Amino acid sequence: MRKFDPKRHRLPIFNTDGILLVDKPATWTSFDVVNFVRSRFNIPKVGHCGTLDPAATGLLVLVLGKFTRISNSLSGVDKIYSGSLRLGIETDSQDMDGNVIRECDTAGITEEALRNTVMSFMGKSMQIPPMVSALKKDGKKLYELARKGVEVEREARPIEVFDIKVDRIALPDCDFTVHCSKGTYVRTIASDIGSKLGCGAVLTNLRRIASGKFSIEDAISVDELKTIEQPELKEMLEKFLYGKALKIAAEAAGK
């Protein structure tokens, strides 16, 4: 891909700094969203604060211009997700994008057992990251190794689930909401729930609804972004920035 050059654009360079909350659609990578915003509005510097898997949807926090300097601070916050899992299936990616490696009968699993198992994941624990992740092993990203059929040993990492609740059970499916620390893999929580029940489980849906104090309610969709121009974007950024974004950003940066 050719390196982005803001001078090769039909629009003037967009110099307004700020924070843009985008509702990421399914199949788009986080970088796809960043690249779209950067190219669509001719913005030299755009970054994101916390990757979402391509299949996942929801809140993606983008930082524009000078705000890219605090992207790490805005990334290192807790997140809230709504998700769905299905019992009786295991895949090599812990979600529906992977290859099925095991299927199991779930007839003996009760709603009470499932609910209790989900609730048992509340609190601090050690989690083994999935192979399909951007973490690195000996300088190589795990998902790159996974694509080659290579599986390596991963060290468990500390995570914390501040809250988790069951929203709906329709066996073998379960909808849930989880509030967790940075670096928590929800797909792994779903897989571990299945392992604890003895029947396996896979994540079938994931949507980020909050990142720190930023909420999906304030996000704009990609389709909406396609309909606005630079002046509307500038107005949107300034309105949000001088509303609550600046305060949240300052708190995240420790100011």
Q: Are 164 and 125 a contacting pair, CB within 8 Å?
A: no
Distance CA 165, CA 147 (A): 33
Q: Report the relative pairing of strands 79-87 and 201-211 from DSSP bridges.
A: antiparallel
Residues annotated as catalytic are: 53
Distance CA 219, CA 233 (A): 13
| CB half-sphere exposure, 61, CA atoms < 13 A | 28
Distance CA 12, CA 92 (A): 46
Cβ of 3: how many Cβ atoms within 10 Å? 4
At which residue do the structure tokens 């509340």 appear? Answer: 122
Alpha helices per DSSP H over the chain: 30-41, 71-75, 111-119, 142-147, 186-197, 222-225, 230-240, 246-252
